[in-house]
Chain A
Amino acid sequence: MSRPTPATVRWLLLGLLIILWEVVPLTGVLPELFLPALSKTLAVLYSDREIYFAALLVTLYEVACSMLIACGLGILVGALVGGTALLRNLLLPVFSSLYAVPIVILYPIFTAWFGVGSSSKIAFAGVYGFFPVMLSTAAGIRTIDPQFLLAARSMGANLVQQITRVIIPASVPTVFAGLRLGGALTIIGVVVSEMLTASAGIGYLVTLNRTILDSPRVFAGILAILVLSIAYYMLARALETRMVVWQSAGRQQRSASGVGTAGMPAPAAA
């Protein structure tokens, strides 16, 4: 018998987790309040499908808008800060230290400014996701091999060509890594802010049902966000692989054996 591949092991673990989710509550070891069975969670999700679908649409809308803000502003500011020495020296230390601040503490201010509706979630999650995008864009531009620019100049590239033909493609991998992380943070930002103060969205449903101790409906919300995050992660990975053919190919060669553990999502460090 040959050893199973890491991918097989991962699928087996996932299957085991699903089975445990179903079996453990049935044995009565855990009360339903702590962990309702998977079948019960799915049944609730089905019977309340209209409510959950409407909430998911709200959450998706907020995530999409805040991703747009985080990525757009992040790339713009990151390019300016990374590309100009003056801004870099002035702003980079400020931004880097701001990154360490738990921005969620500012959320009450966002609700005061933008109300309890979607705008405050979009603004908050946008700011939340902005930092990694901006910092990695700045880093990507700053760490370009000067040899590339020298070679381009020797081949007659003018300033515009140096930017479009060298600086932008050379910084794509780092920028993408920031986008993947920033995007994950906006999902977290939206859900957290919905859980704190909101009148709609999946996060709001989770909080609402928790206060009335309706455990299956809490888990239904959790399941929805879980699926959303994993879908996002897989989409981001697929996009990255397509955009950065040369880099991902190199990475695969280097770590052909270690893909199993390194490939799993780890955006939970909120």
Chain B
Amino acid sequence: MQHLANVTELRARVDEPAIKVDGLSHVYAGADGGVAALLDITLAVGKGRFVVIVGPSGCGKTSLLMMLAGLRQPSQGTISCLGRPIPKPDPQRVGVIFQEASLFPWLSTLDNIEFPLSLRGVARAERRRRSEAMLRLVGLEGFGERYPHELSGGMKQRVSIARGLVQDPPLLLMDEPFAALDEQTRMTMGHELLRIWSTTQKTVVFITHSLTEAVYLADEVLVMSARPGRIIDHIQVTLPRPRSYEMMATEAFGQLRERIWQQIRKAA
């Protein structure tokens, strides 16, 4: 029960944003002058918030996420993660979890989770201790010595989450992490993610195509337009937490989902 109290406390001080994006635009260089991918994006994500970005395919959601992770630099505008710009990836500040398994098939589950730590030269015993703790957190005890090809899609995604969390970054970016999973596994994983989120108190930016997933997970939903991507709606999801599957059948849930759908339809 103690962690619930902490979460509430955390919710109370959302005044200082974890992510601030100001006037961000991006143009991809091309032979015929380039393609505008993102246009004048301004947003703020409060600490400990779960923010979901939805939008039509090719609207630049992933580009935006890459920039928040320091993997790509915008043509214009500024990004600040936890008060500082992010000119290159900084895994201790921002963890990234990618779509489908970007796990390394030549490493065992534990070695995969430890990978970011071993890049920094963390001692072996310390690495093991932390990766095993992460394995427990995502509910995969006993699978540490398995290789990715021996795991199911949902299990692989759990390992990815564990790998993203192992450095304990306060910010977690997720790029359609459950897109490759079947509907049932996807719902279970969403629920699981909320459980992990509530125990770790991370700030999460989550990209998805699924409107149900968006409403189910989010504190706030940002709707993006078709290319060049702009933010056209900012929806507060006021459904109570912890969320349950039963909420999906409620009228409030349906209305939120419908509102996002209307926005996306207009945008596409």
B98 within 8 A of A: yes
Identify which of residues 116-133 in chain B touch chain A, using a CB-to-CB cut-off of 8 Å.
Answer: 116, 119-120
Q: How many A-B residue contacts, CB cutoff 8 Å?
A: 62
B150 within 8 A of A: yes
Contacts of B147 in A (CB 8 A): 245-246, 249
Contacts of B107 in A (CB 8 A): 246
Report the nearest B residue to A254, measured CB to CB.
B149
Whether A249 lies near B104 (C-beta < 8 A) is: no
Contacts of A246 in B (CB 8 A): 105-107, 147-149
B228 within 8 A of A: no
Whether A172 lies near B106 (C-beta < 8 A) is: yes
Alpha-carbon distance between A153 and B115 when the two chains are bound, in angstroms: 12
Q: How many interface residues does A have (CB within 8 Å)?
A: 24
Spot the interface stretch: B20-28, B89-97, B215-223, B249-257.
B89-97
A247 within 8 A of B: yes
Q: Smallest CB–CB gap between B207 and chain A, Å? A: 14
Alpha-carbon distance between A154 and B66 when the two chains are bound, in angstroms: 9
Identify which of residues 152-201 in chain A touch chain B, using a CB-to-CB cut-off of 8 Å.
Answer: 152-157, 161, 165-166, 169-170, 172
Contacts of B4 in A (CB 8 A): none
Report the nearest B residue to A146, measured CB to CB.
B102
Contacts of A154 in B (CB 8 A): 69, 71, 89, 91, 96, 98
Alpha-carbon distance between A245 and B108 when the two chains are bound, in angstroms: 10
Contacts of B106 in A (CB 8 A): 169-170, 172, 244, 246-247
Partner of B102, one of A150, A157, A169: A150
Q: How many interface residues does B have (CB within 8 Å)?
A: 23
Alpha-carbon distance between A155 and B160 when the two chains are bound, in angstroms: 12
Report the nearest A residue to B94, measured CB to CB.
A154
A113 within 8 A of B: no
A148 within 8 A of B: yes
Interface string of B162-186 (1 = CB under 8 A from A): 0100000000000000000000000
A255 within 8 A of B: no
Q: Smallest CB–CB gap between A163 and chain B, Å? A: 13
Whether B102 lies near A151 (C-beta < 8 A) is: yes
Interface string of A128-156 (1 = CB under 8 A from B): 00000000000000000101101111111
Contacts of A245 in B (CB 8 A): 147
A250 within 8 A of B: yes
A253 within 8 A of B: yes
Alpha-carbon distance between A113 and B120 when the two chains are bound, in angstroms: 52
Contacts of A147 in B (CB 8 A): 98, 100, 102
Identify which of residues 216-260 in chain A touch chain B, using a CB-to-CB cut-off of 8 Å.
Answer: 244-247, 249-250, 253
Partner of A156, one of B89, B102, B149: B89
Whether A250 lies near B149 (C-beta < 8 A) is: yes
Partner of A150, one of B71, B92, B104: B71
Contacts of A249 in B (CB 8 A): 147, 149-150
Identify which of residues 135-156 in chain B touch chain A, using a CB-to-CB cut-off of 8 Å.
Answer: 147-150
Known contacts A151-B96, A246-B147, A246-B149: A156-B119 contact under CB 8 Å: yes
Contacts of A145 in B (CB 8 A): 102
Contacts of B71 in A (CB 8 A): 150, 153-154
Whether A155 lies near B104 (C-beta < 8 A) is: no
Residue of B69, B106, B115 with most chain A CB atoms under a 10 A cut-off: B106
Alpha-carbon distance between A143 and B167 when the two chains are bound, in angstroms: 30
Report the nearest B residue to A155, measured CB to CB.
B116
Partner of A155, one of B91, B100, B105, B149: B91
Whether B104 lies near A156 (C-beta < 8 A) is: no
> 6 A-B residue contacts at CB 8 Å?
A154-B96, A155-B116, A156-B90, A156-B119, A245-B147, A253-B149
8 residue pairs, one from A and one from B, having the closest CB atoms: A155-B116, A151-B102, A154-B96, A250-B149, A156-B91, A169-B106, A147-B102, A246-B147
Q: Beyond the given A147-B98, A155-B89, A172-B106, could you list 7 further A-B residue pairs with CB under 8 A, ordered by the A residue number?
A: A147-B102, A152-B115, A152-B119, A156-B120, A246-B148, A249-B150, A250-B105
Which residues of B come within 8 Å of A, CB atoms?
69, 71, 89-92, 96, 98, 100, 102, 104-107, 115-116, 119-120, 147-150, 163
Which residues of A come within 8 Å of B, CB atoms?
145, 147-148, 150-157, 161, 165-166, 169-170, 172, 244-247, 249-250, 253
